[in-house]
Chains A and B, each alone.
Chain A
Amino acid sequence: MWKEIEKRESGRVRPRSFANRVKSSRVASLQLSNHKDIVSPHKGSVNSLQVDLTEGRYLLSGASDASAAVYDVQQPQKLEGGGLIAKHKPIFVIDKQHEHRHKYAISSAIWYPIDTGLFVTGSYDHYIKVWDTNSTQAVMNFKMPGKVYSTSMSSLATSHMLIAAGTEDVQVRLCDIASGAFAHTLSGHRDGVMTVQWSNSSEYVLVTGGCDGAIRFWDIRRAGCFRVLDQSHSQLGRRPPLLERSAMTKVFVSCVVTCICILGSTSRSSSGGQNMSKATAVSRKSSHGNGAKHSGSNRISAKGSIKHRLHPGMLSSQDRATAHYGAVTGLKISEDGMYLFSAGSDSRLRLWDIESGCNTLVNFETVRLQTNKPIQLSVSEDSALVFVPCMTVVKAFDFWSGKTYFTFRGHYEYVNCCCYSALDQELYTGGNDRQILVWSPFISYEADEGTTRNEDSWSD
């Protein structure tokens, strides 16, 4: 450790790689933290966990008893057991006593990606609510056509403030916080939508996984999905083979880039980020109205016949492709936005190359997954490990080899969600046993004198 620091001082090791090394070594020693203890106020299973994206300090949890709570994971409220146990109590709880409460279980709770002033909860009572964190009041209310399974907000969006919601209904809806109305209705799934995820590379790309086993990619600027992942369409290795398909993808990428450029210029022209509604209105217009069709036709004419196949109106055979033989219960896009990790109710885990849309055929060691509930996956920041709730345990898989690295055994019932905090290299997991467990790098804390010592005591 000290040698490493010395090297870093002398400049032989780059600061970044040094940090990465330390981080990975910390991740490698993750275990159930005896020191950090989150006091869960929930009386039902914990369905959703998220650490805020700005400070990495506040953990938001949503549970089946229609309660949501926020914890400060850095600053404990109370020390117990001679300073050995730090109790992190909820800063506030929204439960059934609250005036704007949810009626049924909260299935997902996410932070507003820009700051911690807002958070969003989606519930089985068909509502998505947007809450003001400081006043703990609901400031917005979206009525959905069915139970909300999953919500998502794009962390890199600058031009829109859309909540993507996957519900019982076949349509994915995008709720606009700025206007308080549904901006889009994306239809294409043949069954309810279990998970939704915004792309980490493009603010307009949305990935959804449905109960019909399909994973669909949507560009919100135009109608229909532009890609359906097919499990039989596979490649070996991280990169697609350099065939004529590469040229095709290149064309697609360039198309997207041009699109972004156009939109970026329009939004920039309209006085910055404050006037979001205008920007979204523009995007809506471009994706819905005649303009979209027009531009599409433009592109077809400009880029030739290859473009034609990639248009939302895809080949019907492609449209029926499935990614899993059951419902897609979990989706996670890697930090760099290049790969997609999916979990299905067929107890399979698949890694997809987003660029080519191919199954990379990474064989993740056999696991059993919960089938009837969306599960929340998590990926470590350098995309080395993926954390998957497998029944009562959480497993950490190597991203590229699919080997099980760790098995986090601590919950007594099924685990629903896990959330990796890149700042502290900590993992938070929540399960049906109402507990939120903290898994942190191993540090031995010594108890003060006076408490019972943890030592051998052989009497005979």
Chain B
Amino acid sequence: MANNNLGVKEQIQQNLQKRNKRLMEKAVPLLLFTAAFISVLTTIGIVLTLVFDTFQFFRKVPFWEFFTSTDLSPLGKDPSFGILPLINGTIISSLIAMCVAIPIGLTSAIYLSEYATDRVRKLVKPMMEVLAGIPTIVYGFFAYSFVTPILTYIIPDLGAKNVLSPGIVMGIMIIPLVASLSEDAMSSVPNSMREGALALGATRFEVTLKVIIPAAISGIIASFVLAVSRAIGETMIVTIASGSSKNFTFDITESMQTMTAYIVEFTSGDAGSGTVGYYSLYAVGFTLFFFTLIMNLIAQYISRKFREAY
């Protein structure tokens, strides 16, 4: 506290001279870089593992057969590994989910952003986000023990395990994702756009449909694609409610297995290390990774193409 006698200028000068201060300035960027690099490193690690073990798999099962055969029976006497039933199950369950999530999510976003009063928005949005916080395993038995029995009243032929019920429940699960991200995109369109259209005698709905949605389209599409990625990667709901039938079928009342559910089934004990079945996990995992990668690239392309800058 001897410094107290010094003037302001002198104290500042003295402070600038301190060595540890300069040291900190050099250490901080390094620390920050390391933190950022960890995630990059992990990604590279995962991709390498996938690629390496997938390569092992394709030494035993021909590439062509894997992607064209509709026959999947990894544990039979004469095992066969066709991924098509899994891809089919994944796509169909995700499509059902999107049929639920896009209309409901987008209309809720429109309501929240363009029609709801501030009070309603502040009440409803957190409640919707709670929906996103429910563990997926809970959704899984909700689909199995609640939605499936109800659907059986409407469709008597519905199997106890079927793809329709988890598809719908997955859709419900991703509604908040679509609604919340689309709402963000729409409410960040400047108010002056709304005023401009309203001043031309447009109704609120015309403003929403012809000004706000086009202006927010890149964010809206991004929310759809993120939701699809989420549905493709979703595991517990389909594992519980859709079962493990490896049939190649388009009948949504039947059981289907998705890529993720297949991985669950095999990692929980059926495949011994080093067997073809074990390596098939990596091939399926790699395909899954490829799917989500493609989705993200599509999202980027679309949102760039439709961007309306304001």
A and B associate: no
